Homo-oligomer: A and B are copies of this chain.
């Protein structure tokens, strides 16, 4: 690629203050992991079977077909190459569809993991191997037309019939129709169905069942099953998100996943050892989503920053050549805080993953003590990072001006593929309120004299540093806004203050003789705010701590600037929180603004190297604008010429509709 490298990009790369490769190793975890990741990725990059048409030019049905074909190829190749490590499979999968999701995604991300977590050994033996090889194509059906995040509201029933030793699955209402599962519409032949379990006349709540929905061989829906595609969406054109209606549909008793809860042949219900055991999977999925938020934002930043280095426009000084738009302070102010955010979230994602593995081991030893905090943290961090990344990806798109709006930028696809993350796996506001519930519990504990530990341990200080109304400057006036540690301290104080305020407001509502539940609802805006402040603190803290682990000085220096920018930017956006109760002074806030501008200038020379370090191996990134070699305009023209609207043989629409108007001419 170096042969045709755009001159601006070459100059940018030459001028970087650090070696991007070293930063890539940090992001991957080690030089060895970088090497292995590239090895896996090269399998796809060098394989003609993985090339495909530009999906942007295809109809939805065509896109679906391309995706199915590629998924089948992927499965064959993973077998062929003998890749089995979950991380390595993920690297492989990430690259093979570029920015697009795949119809069999849920088979791997939900069907198989659920089978592993909730299936007995016998059940795993029966279904696992075939689903890994896509002989059984599974999906996971939970959401219904009428209910999403509120699981207790789900209406699908599974009623045990001891006579035949079968479960009767039923969709009693329109609102009970399963809705949204990926791959359900056309692709899958099995579904894990979440349904309210009834046995011996009693309801035992949601349980998971393996339900065959299409006949193997003919792929036709089985009798009693109504299944189809839910129609076009903002994105996910490649995926047949589907609906499923079951009409008194019978499955054998053995199809209930029975690792934890069981129904005996006579219909006796045996409850699981602990309800908390499903927490682990949720922490895992949400921690993956934090990493995904980082990754998608990193990709958007890569495109926007490379394009901003290549695009020349307007003038700073009249008469001089047009500058790169990356030289405009407003452009830097749009993009660099987002770049800093992508790095911040990457490290948070790593932390969440490590923590999951640690806790999982603890669970193995019977220790569930840290689960509640982690559950709360993963819920909040999933919401906090996905909301932020969501807005940030769109900001990247809009920073590319008109061309950002074209699919040539790749950015619309990144956005529409990412944005559901704010809704699925727990709607973000609901997630924030779950975190808030933990914060309120912790606050109450502290209030009653007990100590709390982990990420909320800052609440322990509230007793000694209690904020009184009317009292100003209770905090030590010396928060240092020039060090990551000082900024972490500021965020910690803000979180403590907002948690306390929410707790007090909640208490006030209760004292107005409202029921606890009504009081909770009437405080929920404050509760979400408290959770956000808590999550923001965690991000700043983790990013700041990450700096200490970095050996190379030049890498550390540039990451330190990003960490400072991330933290200062957050303060500038929420300055009111820091000014109230005098965590920071007026003049410090003025300094924050000034310091941010200095950091933009400091980061400017390294901006391109900082996105190169993310090391997206697909040089095109699904984007004409963001290509590694930076050849924008010629490529854009070539791309446009192949648009299907240009291929249409004749101007049929013109002759049919417009020419008749022109009778006079």
Q: Are A234 and B328 in contact (CB under 8 A)?
A: no
Q: Are B525 and A233 in contact (CB under 8 A)?
A: no
Residues of the B chain whose Cβ atoms lie less than 8 Å from the Cβ of A175 = 633
Residues of the B chain whose Cβ atoms lie less than 8 Å from the Cβ of A579 = 575-576, 579-580, 586
Residues of the B chain whose Cβ atoms lie less than 8 Å from the Cβ of A56 = 231-232
Query: Using a CB-CB cutoff of 8 Å, which residues 163-213 of chain A contact chain B?
Result: 174-175, 177, 179-180, 185-187
User: In the assembly, what is the distance between CA of A581 and CA of B590, in Å?
Assistant: 11
Which of B75, B423, B645, B665 lies in contact with A217, CB distance below 8 A?
B665
Interface-facing stretch out of A347-355, A405-413, A550-558: A405-413
User: In the assembly, what is the distance between CA of A523 and CA of B404, in Å?
Assistant: 26
Which of B219, B391, B397 lies in contact with A654, CB distance below 8 A?
B219
Interface-facing stretch out of A41-49, A264-272, A513-521: A513-521
Interface-facing stretch out of A6-14, A24-32, A280-288, A656-664: A656-664
Q: Are A186 and B653 in contact (CB under 8 A)?
A: yes
Q: Are A65 and B652 in contact (CB under 8 A)?
A: yes
Q: Does A524 contact B (CB under 8 A)?
A: yes
Q: Are A423 and B405 in contact (CB under 8 A)?
A: yes
Q: Does A59 contact B (CB under 8 A)?
A: yes
A234-B405 contact given A243-B640, A398-B422, CB 8 Å threshold: yes
Residues of the B chain whose Cβ atoms lie less than 8 Å from the Cβ of A596 = 525
Q: Are B640 and A521 in contact (CB under 8 A)?
A: no
A576-592 contact mask (Cβ, 8 Å, vs B): 1 or 0: 11111100001101100
Q: Are B329 and A186 in contact (CB under 8 A)?
A: no
A406-B640 contact given A61-B645, A525-B333, A525-B597, CB 8 Å threshold: no
Residues of the B chain whose Cβ atoms lie less than 8 Å from the Cβ of A322 = 150, 153
A312 to chain B, nearest CB (A): 8
Which of B135, B180, B243, B648 lies in contact with A664, CB distance below 8 A?
B135
Q: Are B216 and A662 in contact (CB under 8 A)?
A: yes
Q: Are A316 and B518 in contact (CB under 8 A)?
A: yes
Chain B residue at smallest Cβ distance from A577: B575
Interface-facing stretch out of A92-100, A141-149, A448-456: A141-149
Q: Are B575 and A174 in contact (CB under 8 A)?
A: no
Q: Does A81 contact B (CB under 8 A)?
A: no
Chain B residue at smallest Cβ distance from A645: B229
Q: Are A229 and B643 in contact (CB under 8 A)?
A: yes
Residues of the B chain whose Cβ atoms lie less than 8 Å from the Cβ of A597 = 522, 525
User: In the assembly, what is the distance between CA of A472 and CA of B643, in Å?
Assistant: 61
User: In the assembly, what is the distance between CA of A179 and CA of B403, in Å?
Assistant: 10
A340 to chain B, nearest CB (A): 15
A60-B645 contact given A330-B433, A593-B526, A662-B134, CB 8 Å threshold: yes
Residues of the B chain whose Cβ atoms lie less than 8 Å from the Cβ of A655 = 219
User: In the assembly, what is the distance between CA of A3 and CA of B550, in Å?
Assistant: 69
Residues of the B chain whose Cβ atoms lie less than 8 Å from the Cβ of A231 = 56-57, 406-408, 639-640, 642-643, 645
User: In the assembly, what is the distance between CA of A246 and CA of B152, in Å?
Assistant: 64
Q: Are A521 and B68 in contact (CB under 8 A)?
A: no
Q: Does A628 contact B (CB under 8 A)?
A: no
Q: Are A658 and B187 in contact (CB under 8 A)?
A: yes
Among A152, A243, A327, A398, chain B packs the most CB atoms within 10 A around the CB of: A398
User: In the assembly, what is the distance between CA of A628 and CA of B75, in Å?
Assistant: 47
Residues of the B chain whose Cβ atoms lie less than 8 Å from the Cβ of A75 = 661
Chain B residue at smallest Cβ distance from A572: B576
Q: Does A72 contact B (CB under 8 A)?
A: yes
A390-427 contact mask (Cβ, 8 Å, vs B): 1 or 0: 01001001100110111110001000100110111001
Chain A interface helix/strand/loop/mixed: helix
User: In the assembly, what is the distance between CA of A263 and CA of B412, in Å?
Assistant: 44
Residues of the B chain whose Cβ atoms lie less than 8 Å from the Cβ of A665 = 130, 135, 216-217
Which of B329, B398, B416, B634 lies in contact with A524, CB distance below 8 A?
B329
User: In the assembly, what is the distance between CA of A317 and CA of B430, in Å?
Assistant: 16
Chain B residue at smallest Cβ distance from A235: B405
User: In the assembly, what is the distance between CA of A228 and CA of B469, in Å?
Assistant: 67
Residues of the B chain whose Cβ atoms lie less than 8 Å from the Cβ of A277 = none
Q: Are B402 and A423 in contact (CB under 8 A)?
A: yes
Chain B residue at smallest Cβ distance from A598: B522
Q: Are B576 and A328 in contact (CB under 8 A)?
A: no
Q: Does A457 contact B (CB under 8 A)?
A: no
Query: Using a CB-CB cutoff of 8 Å, which residues 303-350 of chain A contact chain B?
Result: 312-318, 322, 327-331, 333-334
Which of B133, B525, B580 lies in contact with A661, CB distance below 8 A?
B133
A315 to chain B, nearest CB (A): 8
Chain B residue at smallest Cβ distance from A508: B594
Q: Does A64 contact B (CB under 8 A)?
A: yes
User: In the assembly, what is the distance between CA of A520 and CA of B314, in Å?
Assistant: 14
A351 to chain B, nearest CB (A): 26
Among A61, A134, A525, chain B packs the most CB atoms within 10 A around the CB of: A525
A234-B633 contact given A314-B150, A420-B405, CB 8 Å threshold: no
Q: Does A240 contact B (CB under 8 A)?
A: yes
User: In the assembly, what is the distance between CA of A221 and CA of B661, in Å?
Assistant: 19
Q: Does A528 contact B (CB under 8 A)?
A: yes
User: In the assembly, what is the distance between CA of A433 and CA of B235, in Å?
Assistant: 34
User: In the assembly, what is the distance between CA of A334 and CA of B428, in Å?
Assistant: 12
Q: Are B577 and A148 in contact (CB under 8 A)?
A: no
Q: Does A52 contact B (CB under 8 A)?
A: no
A123 to chain B, nearest CB (A): 18
A309 to chain B, nearest CB (A): 15
Query: Using a CB-CB cutoff of 8 Å, which residues 86-133 of chain A contact chain B?
Result: 130, 133
User: In the assembly, what is the distance between CA of A314 and CA of B572, in Å?
Assistant: 36
Show 21 residue pairs from A and B whose CB-CB distance is below 8 angstroms, ordered by the A residue: A64-B645, A68-B654, A68-B658, A72-B660, A130-B664, A130-B665, A146-B633, A148-B401, A152-B315, A174-B637, A187-B653, A231-B407, A233-B406, A234-B412, A243-B637, A317-B517, A329-B525, A330-B433, A470-B587, A522-B597, A581-B586
Q: List 11 additional A-B contacts (Cβ < 8 Å) besides A72-B661, A153-B313.
A: A64-B645, A149-B314, A150-B322, A185-B646, A219-B651, A234-B405, A243-B637, A315-B517, A391-B391, A398-B422, A525-B597
6 shortest interchain CB distances as A-B pairs: A575-B576, A231-B643, A229-B645, A234-B412, A150-B314, A72-B657
